[in-house]
Amino acid sequence: GALLGCHRSYRSRPTHGIGKFKYLLPKEAPKKRKDKVQMKEINAGTEYVYGDVNIQMTSYDLCLVEHFAQYVHKLCNRLSIRVNESYAMPTKTNEVLFLEERGSKMQLDAVLTTHQRVVQISGLSSTFAPILLEIIQSNQPEGVHLLVKQHTEADFKSRLKSRPELEELLAQMS
């Protein structure tokens, strides 16, 4: 008897589609593939506000670097610093070969992977920047290299892959 009182919002009922709201929102233009975002803020003057700053962390140990990047991200959230992006650079694999010459030449291989994580920040005031840097420096785990620098176009380009066919065609055209 209790189920008869349940009025599902079925298609024949007047309450059909009661929760819809997407028709009320403004229409979004479909996203283009090309993202050529270049933002540079005020850097000089009495009001020192840094533009985009990249905090790059590199290490051989994946878990450490990831956890540290997460920690830095959460720290910036807590301190209400705007984090633009937090991405990873492709890992580099190095093969270490030992050539020991003790009569018989031995080659011991070791495969090392270098991982890099980048947290991009904007809107850092210069009075606060040294404090933030000191906090990050003192909380660095062992084996993680820290690099803080301003975002340049070269950094942005290093994330994109080069397209050799496109470049060949462009060279042929011009």
Partner 1 sequence: SAAARRPWKLFGAMCLLRLPRITQPLEKEEEEMAALMGQIELEKSHYSDHEIRKLEEEERLKRRKESLYDEDEAPGKTVVMAQDLEDKWEQKFLQFKAAPRITDADKSNDRTSLNRKLDSNLMLLVKQKIGTQELWLLPQVEWQPGETLRSTAERAMATVLGDHIQAKVLGNAPYGIYKYKFPRAIRTEDNMGAKVFFFKAFLQSKDLSQAELKADYLWVTKKELGDYLKLEYLKKVNRFLLD
> Can you give the binding site for partner 1, defined by CB under 8 A?
108, 126-127, 129-130, 133-135, 137-138, 141-142
13 vs 149, which CB is nearer to partner 1?
149
- Enumerate residues 6+ apart whose C-beta is below 8 A from 53: 120, 121, 122, 124, 148, 149, 150, 151
Query: Whose Cβ is closer to partner 1: residue 93's or residue 138's?
Result: 138
Residue whose CB is less far from partner 1, 110 or 171: 110
- The string of DSSP codes covering 100-130 is EEESEEEEEEEEEEEEEEEEEEE-EETTTHH
How many helices and strands in the chain, by DSSP H and E? 4, 6
CB of residue 82 vs partner 1: minimum separation in angstroms? 20
In the complex, least distance from residue 50 CB atom to partner 1, rounded to whole angstroms: 11
CA distance 109 to 134: 38
- C-alpha distance from residue 52 to each of 1, 31, 85, 97 (Å): 64, 24, 10, 40
Cβ of residue 129: shortest distance to partner 1, in angstroms?
A: 6
Rounded Cα gap, residues 142 and 101, in angstroms: 33
Report yes or no: 81 and 123 within 8 Å, Cβ to Cβ. Answer: yes
Q: Give the nearer residue to partner 1 in terms of CB position, either 12 or 127.
A: 127
- Minimum separation from the CB atom of position 143 to partner 1 (A): 10
**Residues linked to residue 130 through DSSP beta bridges, in sequence order:** none
User: Minimal distance in Å, beta carbon 139 to partner 1?
Assistant: 10
Q: Which two structure tokens, joined as six digits, stand for 109?
A: 């291989």
Using the minimum distance from each CB to partner 1, give the nearer residue, 83 or 133: 133
